[in-house]
Amino acid sequence: MLLADFIAALDQLAAEGPARIAAATSLDEWTAVRNALVGRQSGTLSGIMEGLGKLPKEDRREAGQRANTVKQALESALEERRGAIAASSATGGPVLDLSMPGRREWVGTVHPVSLVIDEVIAIFRELGFTIALGPEAETGWYNFGALNFPEDHPAMDLHDTLYLGDDAVLRTHTSPVQVRTLQTYPPPVRVLAPGNVYRRDFFDASHAPMFAQIEGLVVDEGVTFADLKATLTHFARRFFSATTRTRFRPSFFPFTEPSAEMDVECGVCHGSGCAVCKQSGWVEILGSGMVHPAVLEAAGLDSEKYTGWAFGMGPARTAISRYGIPDIRILYDSDVRFLEQFAR
C-alpha cells in the first residue's frame, strides 16, 4: 500500500463521517454509526489502520498522525451528536440505554491477607518488634547455606525451588532476613520480616506457588523456648480470641533446634473436621523453634553468649482460618463480590 492511498482513505472517511453522524436521531442509531466508523472490531477506521503495517517504515509516522487526527475529529463529532440526542429527548434529560444491565456500586476494601498482615504487625509492635525487609531474589547461601541446610537437602532441588541462575533463587521463605538482620544489627533483636516467597507447590485448597509470609526473630542473652511459647500463645489469643485453643507439635527445621509447629482450632469447622483442616480439626498457622547455633555463627554471633527463637507464618492460611474461607485459591481470584465481604 502507498502512503497516498492510505491518506486518501482517511480523507474520504473524514468527509463522509460527519454526515453519517448527523443523520443519527436515536441512541441506537448513534451506537450503530459509532461502531461502523470507529468500532475496534469492524469499524471503517479499524479497517484502514490494518494497512498501516504495510506502509514503508519511513511513512508510518505521518500516516499514524493523520489517522489520529481523523479519529479525534470523529469521536468529537460523535460526542457532540450524542449530547444533542439527549437534549432533544422527550423527558429533557439524558437518554438511558435500557439494554445495559444494572450494576450496583462496588465497595472497595483491603484484601483479607493484607488485613491479616497489618493486624499481625500491630500485635507484635506492641511487644517491641520492628520491621525488617530483604530481597525476594536471594543467593543460595542466604536462602540455604546460612540457615544450616545441608548441601543435599531436598528443598534445594529444582522440584521445590525456583532458580534464577547458578547461585540465585526466588527465596523460598523470609528466613534469609534473619541472617541479614543479625549481620547488620547487634543483639538484642526483635524483628518481623513480612514479604512474598516462592515455591514449586501445586495450586490447591491450602497451597499456592507464591504467597506472603511473616518471619519473626528474637535474639538476646538468656532467651528460652518458654519465651517463644508464651509470646506465640499471646499472639494467637489476641488475633483469634481469648478462648482460642492452640497446640505445639514437635517438628524439624534445619535452622531451629528444637522446633515446633503451632496449630489453632480450625475456624471453618470449629474442630469437627473439614477439607481445609484435612479432617483434623486443627490448622497449622506457623512453624517455630530456637535459632540453631549454626545460624547465629553464620551471622557472626557468639552462639555461647546469645540464644534466640524464630517463627514463620503464612498470612493466607491464617486468613482462611480467621475468616472461615474454604479454599485458599479464592484469595487469588480478585473477585470483587468476595472482597466486598471484608469492607469496613
Does one domain contain both 330 and 187?
yes
More confident residue, 277 or 156: 277
Residue 255 lies in a domain: yes
Of the candidates 170, 179, 157, the residue with the CA atom closest to the CA atom of residue 255: 179
To the question of pTM greater than 0.75 for the whole model, the response is no
Number of domains observed in the structure of the chain: 2
Does one domain contain both 188 and 242?
yes
Does one domain contain both 136 and 270?
yes
Does one domain contain both 292 and 160?
yes
* DSSP annotation of 93: S
Distance of alpha carbon 205 from alpha carbon 186, whole angstroms: 41
Residue 101 lies in a domain: no
pLDDT digits (tens, 9 = 90+) for 26-62: 888 888 888 888 887 666 888 888 787 788 888 888 8
What is the average pLDDT across 158-186?
88
> Band of the pLDDT at 118, cuts 50, 70, 90?
very high
Does one domain contain both 149 and 290?
yes
Does one domain contain both 198 and 57?
no
Cα–Cα distances (Å) from 10 to 6, 35, 43, 56, 70, in that order, read 6, 17, 13, 17, 7
Residue 199 lies in a domain: yes
Of the candidates 158, 144, 141, the residue with the CA atom closest to the CA atom of residue 200: 158
Of the candidates 219, 262, 252, 284, the residue with the CA atom closest to the CA atom of residue 148: 252
Q: Is 195 left (phi over 0), alpha (psi -120 to 50) or beta?
A: left
Of the candidates 98, 96, 100, 99, the residue with the CA atom closest to the CA atom of residue 82: 96
Cα–Cα distances (Å) from 226 to 61, 189, 316, in that order, read 72, 17, 27
| pLDDT value of residue 317 | 78
Residue where one domain finishes, among candidates 72, 87, 102: 87
Instruction: Evaluate if residue 94 carries a pLDDT over 60.
Output: no
Residue 92 lies in a domain: no
Residue 176 belongs to what domain range?
Answer: 112-342
Does one domain contain both 146 and 242?
yes
CATH value at residue 330: 3.30.930.10
Residue 262 lies in a domain: yes
Distance of alpha carbon 151 from alpha carbon 161, whole angstroms: 14
| pLDDT value of residue 71 | 86
Does one domain contain both 77 and 126?
no
Does one domain contain both 83 and 116?
no
Residue 329 lies in a domain: yes
pLDDT digits (tens, 9 = 90+) for 192-243: 999 999 988 777 766 788 889 999 999 999 999 999 999 999 999 998 888 8
